[in-house]
Amino acid sequence: MIVHCNFEELTALKAGARQVLDGYAPEHGAIAAPPAERERVAALVPRLGGDFSVTTLAEQRSLLHAVAIVVEMLRVEMESMVATNHPAHEVAVSAYFDFAHAFSVRARLYEIGLEMEALVELVTGGPVTDELARDFAFPD
């Protein structure tokens, strides 16, 4: 399965990933992402050069989790920029678009996961197990 990403989406994901990896905390008093989440995001970064292939459901789940971490960082950043500036201020609008672009990738990854689960269940006749999620391969 191929996850198609446009330039703006990739740029937003890279910016959010950089914030997560740098230990950025967008709100006063907020804490940075835990090390395990930073590791997931670090594994995502090399894939953000263009469309990426997802060959197993386990890989999709890992990617979805990493993208969700980035989306949450960008959501908090957007809320912070809106709260500290005017909603129409350039930094608030830019933060909104970064969040929205990353959110749209997360939504596509989620939908692809539902399709992958349905195909595994259809082919195997049973529910998806951890083993099937890891071993059942989807060609591009």
Q: Give residue 23's pLDDT band: very low, low, confident or very high (50, 70, 90).
A: confident
| pLDDT at residue 4 tops 80 | yes
pLDDT of amino acid 31 = 58
Q: Scanning the structure block, which residue is given the tokens 């992402």?
A: 33
Q: Residue range 109-134: average pLDDT?
A: 96
| pLDDT at residue 136 tops 70 | yes
Q: What is the pTM of this model?
A: 0.89
Greater pLDDT, 18 or 23: 18
Which whole-number Å values give the CA distances from 70 to 82, 124, 133, in the listed order?
Answer: 18, 33, 23
| pLDDT at residue 41 tops 60 | yes
DSSP 114: H
pLDDT of amino acid 90 = 94
Q: Residue range 30-51: average pLDDT?
A: 85
- Residue 65 burial by CB count (10 A; 0-12/13-18/19+): exposed, middle or buried? middle
Map out the domains of the chain as residue ranges. 2-135
